[in-house]
Amino acid sequence: MALEKARSLARLNIFTSLASEISQSLTPIAIKDNIATKLLPTTCSSYALSNYISPFQATVIDLLEDEFTVVGKTNMDEFGMGASTTFSHYGPTLNPMYPNERRICGGSSGGSAAAVAAGIVPVALGTDTGGSVRQPASYTGILGFKPTYGRISRWGVVAYAQSLDTVGILGKDVDIIEKVFTKLDKHDPKDPTSLGVELRSRFDSKHGNNKKLRIGVPEEYVLGFDPKVSKAWQQCLEALSQDHEIVPVSVPLIKKTLAMYFTLAPAEASSNLGRYDGIRYGTRSDSDKDYYAKTRSEGFGEEVKRRIILGNYNLSSDSYKNHFLKAKLLRRALKQQFDEVFNQPNYVTGSDPNANGVDFLLTPTTVGQAPTIEDYDAQSSTHGYTQDVLTIPASLAGIPAISFPWEVEGAKIGLQLMGQCGDDYNLLRITQETMSLNT
């Protein structure tokens, strides 16, 4: 059924490759095309890797293959650089929520989001560096979960910015997301960023099913939202206030997170993408003259080249001192500010809980609904960089965050819950409870 439906919806351009056959006894799943699989190409939606088939598969694939069957690899913004799934060598993916319009589905995990939203699979894997799971989930009316950084193995995942990259899960409901997360929530000795066994054992202290929670509303998130986004956020807060306490909070450095992100992430990317030279990996230029330059110029799309140039600049001598190092210090301070907001300890950093803090934070996921491809393309590249302004803070802090749909006036609006590092299962539980209030 899943393969047939995927083929029938080829016009949406959701997949870069499909399996020839799948097991009928296992649950179908879609995999973002930057996660290594042995039986299907891993292209990162780039011409540079258009013929690449990995000799090994990612740890996350190994952990899932006893219960899940891979339907195909999903389209994405090239190497994860984008928030629209229009920056792909294979063309844009269309949003299934708008069958009569050409709207973006967000990115960079747009193909994975579209596969779930279209009903091809109940669940899909993506990666989230600055919001690449949560933002497309918001635009397509599904759930998108970014776990605590280091909780899911990155081994076999093509790196964009390794201090931020997190394998995430997109699904139609909380139950399927939790099922997949439980299987992937394992220490992996092959991944140097994987959290250790002892540390994991201290996570997810029970809040208690009947506990009155404190839900924080960061004042820095009060922006110029689309009216439906504002209405959904307000309705959700009012519904939660019946059983829980709503608390205004402040994380001042949130205002600087966009600048932090686009200083740090492109710098890491410029280093990571240096390996795609046509000698060790990737498609090669036919030219004998200026071989290296032409291979990279021909292999990468315009958005990737923009970010490589930005990253190289951020690592240049003057910018490194004046911007890159400052961004790293600000990121550390941001993590401390988040720790001061939560009433749960951060076992990763060793910070103590704030007795007067909150259990979770609730915000919108995006400032508006999915724009048309034409409107998105007409905007400047710097405007596109603001698409993740509400999701980047959780990525920089390494905390778990999830986007879930809240229906208002016939539209599914993405709202975002964030929790303390390691509080992933409790975050999923409160998401389930919150969604049940949308009546």
The CATH number covering residue 379 comes to: 3.90.1300.10
The CA-to-CA distance between both ends of the chain, in Å, stands at: 31
- pLDDT on residue 222: 80
329 is a domain residue: no
- Catalytic residue numbers read 32, 108, 132
Q: What pLDDT is attached to residue 356?
A: 93
Q: Is residue 112 part of a domain?
A: yes
pLDDT tens, residue by residue, 361-392? 999 999 999 999 999 999 877 788 888 999 99
pLDDT at residue 55, rounded to an integer: 95
Position 277 scores a pLDDT of 73
Q: Please, are residues 59 and 190 in contact by the beta-carbon 8 Å criterion?
A: yes
Contacts of 252 (CB under 8 A, 6+ apart): 220, 337
| pLDDT score, position 293 | 62
pLDDT on residue 284: 58
Q: What is the pLDDT of residue 281?
A: 66
Per-residue pLDDT of the chain (439 residues; tens, 9 = 90+): 999 999 999 999 999 999 999 999 999 999 999 999 999 999 999 999 998 999 999 999 999 999 999 999 999 999 999 999 999 999 999 999 999 999 999 999 999 999 999 999 999 999 999 999 999 999 999 999 999 999 999 999 999 999 999 999 999 999 999 999 999 999 999 999 999 999 999 997 655 556 899 999 999 988 789 999 999 999 999 999 999 999 999 999 999 999 999 999 999 999 999 888 766 666 655 655 655 566 666 789 999 999 999 999 999 988 998 999 999 999 999 999 999 999 999 999 899 889 999 999 999 999 999 999 999 999 877 788 888 999 999 999 999 999 999 999 999 999 999 999 999 999 999 999 999 999 8
Please give the pLDDT value at position 282: 65
Q: Within a domain: residue 201?
A: yes
Residue 35 counted as domain residue:
yes
d(CA 296, CA 276): 7
Domain count, the chain: 1
Residue 156 within any structural domain of the chain: yes
| Structural domain containing residue 175 | 2-206+368-436
Identify whether 220 is part of a domain. Answer: no
Answer yes or no: is 200 within a domain. yes
Q: Is residue 411, in this structure, part of any structural domain at all?
A: yes
Predicted pLDDT of residue 261: 98
How many other C-beta atoms lie within 10 A of the C-beta of residue 282? 21
**Pairing label, strands 360-364, 214-218:** parallel
How far is the CA of 370 from the CAs of 83, 110, 131, 140, 274, in angstroms?
11, 12, 15, 8, 33
